[in-house]
């Protein structure tokens, strides 16, 4: 992780994104302590921010619940941001498949973590249903979140100034370019 930060500094990248990992049986609290202490031990170069990414929450992985992201932010003195991955959040049980559900999930994120900490969105549809904890990304608008949900995320007022990154698969003859065009279309051009 330190080598990644140093490389990002050389590249003048503004962010390094990381998952919290898994507690592998130690328990959620011990896992969060461990993740926080590892993040605190980093020497973060000026101009760089570490982002913790929301997880699908499979097995003992941390970061599926918004409370776990908030707990790590609380336990670290160094400033951290959050990256919200739509496929992961959906798999972790946060519904994003309708405009109403997106409204609720964004409000819950704001309550628990705080939208001021949201620095990036990974825009991915999900091959599996809400709450399945299964992490497989789908093309934008073609998974279980679907076009209405993706459009609601893309046009939500609170997310307007947040950068979006697609992490969609390259399959079925569809590339990143296809997904970016699809996202632009769903966002209203």
Q: Which of 44, 51, 63, 85 binds Zn ion (CB under 5 A)?
A: 85
- From the CB of 116, what's the least distance to Zn ion, in Å? 20
User: Which of residues 40 and 167 has its CB atom nearest to Zn ion in the complex?
Assistant: 167
Number of residues that this document lists for the chain? 189
Q: Which stretch binds Zn ion (CB under 5 A): 3-11, 72-80, 147-155, 161-169?
A: 161-169
Binding marks (x or -) toward Zn ion, 122..151, rule CB under 5 A? x-----------------------------
Specify the residue, 27 or 59, whose C-beta has the smaller distance to Zn ion. Answer: 59
List Cβ<8 Å contacts ≥24 apart for 151-157: 151/99, 151/186, 151/187, 152/96, 152/98, 152/99, 152/101, 152/102, 152/103, 153/86, 153/96, 153/102, 153/121, 153/123, 154/123, 154/183, 154/186, 154/187, 155/186, 155/187, 155/188, 156/102, 156/103, 156/106
For Zn ion, the closer of residues 36 and 123 by Cβ is 123
33 or 180: CB nearest Zn ion: 180
Cα(67)–Cα(80) distance, integer angstroms: 15
Q: Which stretch binds Zn ion (CB under 5 A): 29-37, 96-104, 160-168, 179-187?
A: 160-168
Residue 55 binds to Zn ion (criterion: CB under 5 A): no
Q: Which residues contact 60 (CB under 8 A, 6 or more apart)?
A: 22, 23, 24, 25, 31
Distance CA 121, CA 158 (A): 12
- Please check whether residue 81 is in contact with residue 119, taking contact to mean a CB–CB distance below 8 angstroms: yes
Interface region with Zn ion, contact rule CB under 5 A, candidates 61-69, 113-121, 167-175, 179-187: 167-175
Q: Which is nearer to Zn ion, 33 or 162 (CB)?
A: 162
Minimal distance, residue 65 CB to Zn ion, in Å:
16
Where on the chain is the footprint of Zn ion (CB under 5 A)?
A: 85, 122, 167
């Amino acid at each position: 992780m330190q080598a990644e930060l140093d490389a990002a500094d050389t590249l003048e990248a503004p962010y390094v994104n990381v998952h919290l990992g898994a507690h592998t049986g130690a328990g959620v609290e011990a896992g969060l302590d461990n993740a926080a202490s590892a993040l605190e031990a980093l020497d973060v170069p000026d101009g760089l921010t570490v982002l913790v990414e929301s997880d699908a929450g499979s097995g003992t992985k941390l970061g599926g619940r918004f409370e776990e992201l908030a707990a790590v932010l609380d336990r670290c003195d160094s400033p951290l941001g959050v990256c919200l991955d739509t496929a992961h959040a959906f798999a972790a049980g946060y519904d994003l498949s309708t405009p109403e559900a997106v409204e609720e999930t964004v409000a819950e994120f704001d309550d628990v973590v705080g939208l001021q900490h949201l620095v990036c969105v990974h825009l991915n549809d999900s091959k599996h249903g809400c709450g399945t904890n299964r992490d497989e990304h789908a093309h934008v608008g073609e998974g279980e979140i679907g076009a209405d949900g993706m459009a609601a995320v893309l046009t939500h007022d609170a997310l307007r100034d947040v950068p979006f990154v697609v992490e969609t698969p390259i399959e079925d003859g569809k590339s990143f370019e296809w997904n970016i065009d699809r996202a632009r279309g769903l966002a209203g051009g």
